[in-house]
Amino acid sequence: MKILRSQECNITQEIELLKQGMSIFSDTVTEGMEAKTKEVFGESLSPAESVKRVIKDVKEKGDEALEFYSEKFEGLSLSAKDFRIKESEIEDAYKKVSPEFLSAMKNARENIRVFQEYIRVRELKPFHSKGTRITVKYDAIENVGIYVPGGSASYPSTVLMNAIPARVAGVKKIVVVTPPGRDGKISPERLVACREANVDEVYMIGGVHSIAALTFGTKTVPKVDKIVGPGNVFVTLAKREAYGHVGIDMLAGPSEVLIIADETANHEYVASDLLSQAEHAPGISILVTCSEVLANGVLQEISRQIGTLPRSDLIKESLDKFGFIILTKDLNEAVDISNTLAPEHLQVIVKNEEEILSGLIHAGAIFVGPFTPVAVGDYIAGPSHVLPTGGTARFCSGLSVNDFLKRTSIISYSEEVLRTSANDIITIAESEGLQAHANSVRIRVDK
């Protein structure tokens, strides 16, 4: 991990350089990407160009394109009719998971459901004012598609964190698309999570082609109204292309944690939290502290703990590239740095918690105290772990039940109220050069 001292360098500039390197919009082409695009498309394409090509093909060719790209990117030679997971496969998945896992899923499901019901927006009584009646109603989005990553890791928690808020909102149909693991199958944990979250349909397709299928629909995969869920750079770019045809939750980049800690923080705890974020490989792990003793102790703990972890090589690489310890003159400066970065996950482990919390205004989620690691939010606390990254927490919130609701205003004016408002409406409409707008009012009151 790099150590930066605020009094010796421009911290904001250093972090901005880091963000630029991690940006999903950098559109850089690695050697591996170049080889793969040449194999699939016959030419070298950037990530954005590849995404547009795949989406165009799926839109025009439907299931045929899904079969082609599933074979090229996922190594699966399947007919489109085999993409949808059968109920018998889900039932069989229950036989392959432990009782402890199933119990954990049920506990997490209930925590998420209860919290999402608690924060669900309530409809207000109609607004009345001098003959005006305005009602605001909320309707659930009808069809939602959820992308659940697969590949080297399995994410049953992502199923719960996306599907349960949608279900609490009243979404009628929830479709999950998820790629197979290295064994060519969807993990039983993901399938069990889909059943526990009351998902309607599960399809074993991933990547850009799955996003395109949800966006435009094919003979096999239904079109949805909104797509949610995290993914790699290609999935995120595909969601950007899909927006407008469907809704999306957000454009999320690599996961990140920023920890504000003082001399009272436990070195082992802080080190474990930085390591857990780096485990995403890549994941941005930042410690901001005014304690040199803590910084040195955490570095020692990282060296000790990393050797005990199965993904140690990936974690080390992630920390080398995207791990920082920032030494500040005081905690007020630490708060300023955090607000500038607006991290996805923000941990606060200090003796004066309330004082620090009062100054923090930009973060996806805040975890307070030595016994609240990010993992509690990742899996079981209740708020969704789908959170804004890359500084977007300055204007964006984490996914919740309310993101699956649409607000509609129902406005009713009496003749008397229209007459009292007519001159104002006509004046404003005519100032904009919209005579027909003005006439639509004038024709009702000039009698």
Please tell me the predicted confidence (pLDDT) of residue 172: 97
How far is the C-alpha of 229 from the C-alpha of 421, rounded, in Å? 46
pLDDT digits (tens, 9 = 90+) for 60-101: 999 999 999 999 888 888 899 999 999 999 999 999 999 999
Average pLDDT of the chain, as a whole number:
92
- The residues, ordered by sequence, that sit 6+ positions from 263 with a Cβ below 8 Å of its Cβ are 291, 293, 294
Selecting among 189, 196, 279, 344, the annotated active-site residue is: 344
Q: Can you list the domains of the chain with their CATH numbers?
A: 2-23+255-382 (3.40.50.1980), 31-80 (no CATH), 82-248 (3.40.50.1980), 414-445 (no CATH)
What is the pTM assigned to this prediction? 0.92
- 345 is annotated as an active-site residue: yes
Q: Does the structure show a pLDDT above 70 at 109?
A: yes
On the question of pLDDT at 24 being above 60, the answer is: no
pLDDT digits (tens, 9 = 90+) for 383-403: 999 999 988 999 999 999 999
Q: Are 286 and 341 in contact (CB under 8 A)?
A: yes
Query: What is the full DSSP assignment across 85-149?
Result: PPHHHHHHHHTTS-HHHHHHHHHHHHHHHHHHHHHSPPPPPPEEETTEEEEEEEEE-SEEEEE--
345 or 183, which is more confident? 345
CA separation, residue 87 to residues 84, 103, 195, 224, 402 (Å) = 9, 21, 9, 21, 30
Annotated catalytic residue 437 = no
Would you state the structure tokens that stand for residue 293, as one six-digit string?
Answer: 């003793």
Residue-wise burial string across 350-378, b where 16 or more C-beta atoms lie within 10 A, e elsewhere: beeeeebeeebebbbbbbbeeebbbeebb
pLDDT of residue 281: 76
Residue 184: CB atoms within 10 A of its CB come to: 12
* pLDDT, position 20: 66
Active-site option among 117, 345, 385, 430: 345
Split at pLDDT 50, 70, 90, the class of 28 is low
Please state the separation of Cα 134 from the chain's center in Å.
34
Task: State the pLDDT at residue 130.
Answer: 81
The separation between the first and the last C-alpha atoms of the chain, rounded to the nearest angstrom, is 78
Q: What is the pLDDT of residues 322-331, one digit of tens each?
A: 899 999 999 9
CA distance readout (Å), 205 to 75, 214, 253, 446: 11, 11, 21, 62
What pLDDT, in 10s, does the model give residues 41-71? 878 788 888 999 999 999 999 999 999 999 9
Residue 14, pLDDT score: 76
Q: Which residues pair with 203 in a beta bridge?
A: 84, 177
Give CA torsion, residues 295, 300, 304, 309, to 10 deg. 30
1 is written with which tokens? Answer: 């991990």
Note whether 400 and 176 are within 8 A (CB). Answer: no
Determine contact, residues 253/392, Cβ cutoff 8 Å. no
